[in-house]
Each structure stands twice: as C-alpha cells, then as structure tokens.
Amino acid sequence: MSLLLKRLPTLLLVLLLLLVGGIILGVFWVWRAPTEEPALRVGYNHWAGYEFLSLAEEFGLYEQEGVVVQLVELGSLGDVRRAFERGQVDVMASTLIESVLAQELTRDQVSIIYAADYSAGSDMIVARQDVEGVAGLKGKRIGVEPAALDLLVVMIALGQAGLSLDDVTVVPLSQGELVEGFRQGRIDAAATYPVVSHVLLARPELHRLWDSTAAPGSIVDVFSVKEEMLRSRRDQLVHFLRAYDGALRLHRENPTVTVERMARRQNVTPKQFERALEGIELLEFGQQAELLQAGGVVERSSEQTLEALRALSFYPDNAVGRPAVDPSLVEEASRP
C-alpha cells in the first residue's frame, strides 16, 4: 500500500499527459481533416439529352474533379421540377418551362447556370395517319403532359398553323401513358420525344406531324439552381460543370464507345440512340457565353416561355418573374 501511495503522483502525471496529448491530437486531426461536403444531388428524367450526366459518372469524371454527385433519375420533367421545389435535388436538369414554373412556385430566386442543348427535331407531335398537317389538329384530342414542355411544343406548333389551344382538346397524359392512349383511342395526337417517340413511330398507324426543326432555338434544356446554392456550394457546381463538359468532349472524341454506353442505359440500340441525338444540338463551354449573355438565346427563350405560360393561365400576371441567367459559373469553370 505504501509503495502504491508513493507512485500515485507519477501515475496521475502520466494519465494527465496522456489526456492532454489526446486532446492536442484530436484538435490537430479536426484541423487537418477535410470537411466532407454533402453530395450534389442532380435531378433529371429518362431522356437521351441527359445521358451525359451518367456518362460523366461512369467514366469517373466527377471523381476526377473532386466532387461527389448523386444522380437522381425521376419519371418525368414534372417530377424533377417538384423535387427541385421541395429541396430534394440541388440541380435541376430540365427545359426552360420547368425553370420558369419553379421560379414562381418556390418563390426562391432560381438561376440558370448552363445551357445544355436545344431541340433540333427531338421534340415532336405524333398523330394518327388520317391527321394531315398541323391545321388538321383542329377539333382533335392531343395527349400532353400538364405543366411541362409538351404544352409549349403544342402551343408553338398550333400557332404556326394559325390555331391555339382553344381549337383542340388537351388530354393530360404522361409520356409513359401515350402508347396506351393511342391504343385505346383516347387521343388523336401527342407531344412526345425520344425514346417514347421511337416506340410510337414504330406503329404503322402513326406518323410524325411536326417537330422542333420548325422552331429552331425555341426549346432549350438548362441546368438550374436556387440562389442559395450559388453562395454555399459554388465550388462544387464549378467542378460539376467541368465534369459534364468533359463528358461532352469524351463523346466528341470517342462517339462509338460513348453511344454504346448511353444506349445501354436507355435500353435502346446504339443506332436508335444516335437517331435520338440527331434531334439535339449539344452545347459546350465555348458556346455558353453567347447563349447566357444578357439578351441572349436563353434569356429570350425564357421570356417567350413565360409569356406562353401566362397565356395558358399557368403563370399569374403578378408573378415574381422569370429565372435569372448567371454565366459566372461557366466562366469560372472554363478557366484552366
């Protein structure tokens, strides 16, 4: 007992040194350890133009850029918009119509940061063989996904033939419901895009009535974020855009390899996927400055989309306005 008492101060000193050393090591570790940022959640739907998001993941381009990206594939553009509004995804890959609607429905400032592509034939109206020309749609039933790009496609096509939505009957149907809609005789025509359009056009009783080559540059796909993301996660967004642009370069340099990979994910043949891409004008970094500038294509198309939605009573006259267009992230991502 006396020996233990004699050694007690020494034991206490050793324990104290160990405790202090542990605290110092812990503080050093916290200081040195990188803070792990949450994954950047990117919402998109099953469409050929958005396959480059998955291509970047498959080839490790997000990892090379040091950004963790979680791709969230949803059933329709409407689903993507709702997920964006609820904060379930951080980046929305969509058409301008979803960006404009999200600006109003979330009451948050929405910013368009990238123009991914514009439709050059991929968006179309398919109709029964007995419907001749867009003017022949008068009095007919058209399958349309509500509050989505389909409405704008139909409105543009009808306008070119001197018609309006008042001249047709709009039947609310998702893309996945169109085949059955035609089969059951519920619709005479439908607004659609690949890959559903391929399935419809394979049916002998249907034909392509109109497509977006008749309205070049009017249907644009974009990446949108809420303003808070620009402040809190700017660096992640910059690296995400670099990785995405890397996927486009990879496709340009090795199209055979990339088409095969993307076609497999879309569950179509490489030839079918190539056909889908023929209707899309892909847009790279070098084109962004002109597209995103004040008064540029994206801003003008956004304004046209807003006017169309107001005409359709989807957007009130006292709404907060259209999304902002912010080219600064692309400018930063383009620097070496």
Residue 323 to residue 100: CA distance in whole angstroms: 6
Regarding whether 209 and 76 lie in a shared domain, the answer is no
pLDDT at residue 276, as a whole number = 85
Regarding whether 302 and 255 lie in a shared domain, the answer is yes
> Has residue 6 been placed in a domain?
no
Regarding whether 299 and 209 lie in a shared domain, the answer is no
Regarding whether 111 and 235 lie in a shared domain, the answer is yes
Q: Is the pLDDT of residue 145 over 90?
A: no
Instruction: Show the tokens assigned to 217.
Output: 């540059």
Domain that holds residue 84: 40-118+219-334
Regarding whether 159 and 85 lie in a shared domain, the answer is no
Percent of the chain beyond pLDDT 70?
Answer: 86
How much is the mean pLDDT over the chain? Answer: 87
Name the H helices within 207-254: 227-232, 234-253
- pLDDT tens across 160-215, in order? 999 998 999 999 999 899 999 999 999 999 999 888 998 999 999 999 999 999 98
pLDDT at residue 11, as a whole number = 44
The three-state secondary structure class of 212 is helix
For position 204, which CATH number holds? 3.40.190.10
> Has residue 35 been placed in a domain?
no
Name the H helices within the chain: 2-32, 51-58, 61-64, 77-85, 96-106, 149-160, 178-183, 196-201, 227-232, 234-253, 255-266, 270-278, 285-292, 297-311, 328-334
Regarding whether 232 and 326 lie in a shared domain, the answer is yes
> Has residue 18 been placed in a domain?
no
pLDDT at residue 212, as a whole number = 93
Q: What is the pTM of this model?
A: 0.76
Distances in whole angstroms, Cα of residue 293 to Cα of each of 228, 257, 299, 326: 21, 34, 8, 8
> Has residue 22 been placed in a domain?
no
How far is C-alpha 302 from the chain's CA centre? 15
- Confidence at 300, pLDDT banded by 50, 70, 90: confident
**Total domain count, the chain:** 2
Regarding whether 208 and 135 lie in a shared domain, the answer is yes
pLDDT at residue 16, as a whole number = 46
> Has residue 15 been placed in a domain?
no
> Has residue 254 been placed in a domain?
yes
Secondary structure E strands in 263-308: 280-282
Name which of 17-21, 76-80, 229-233, 238-242 the model is least confident about: 17-21
Regarding whether 232 and 95 lie in a shared domain, the answer is yes
Structural domain ending residue among the three candidates 214, 249, 281: 214
Percent of the chain beyond pLDDT 90?
Answer: 63
- pLDDT tens across 236-261, in order? 999 999 999 999 999 999 999 999 99
Residue 273 to residue 264: CA distance in whole angstroms: 9
Regarding whether 223 and 210 lie in a shared domain, the answer is no
Instruction: Show the tokens assigned to 200.
Output: 């419809």
Structural domain ending residue among the three candidates 180, 214, 248: 214
- pLDDT tens across 6-60, in order? 444 554 444 444 554 444 444 333 343 345 789 999 999 988 899 999 999 999 9
> Has residue 50 been placed in a domain?
yes
Structural domain ending residue among the three candidates 152, 184, 214: 214
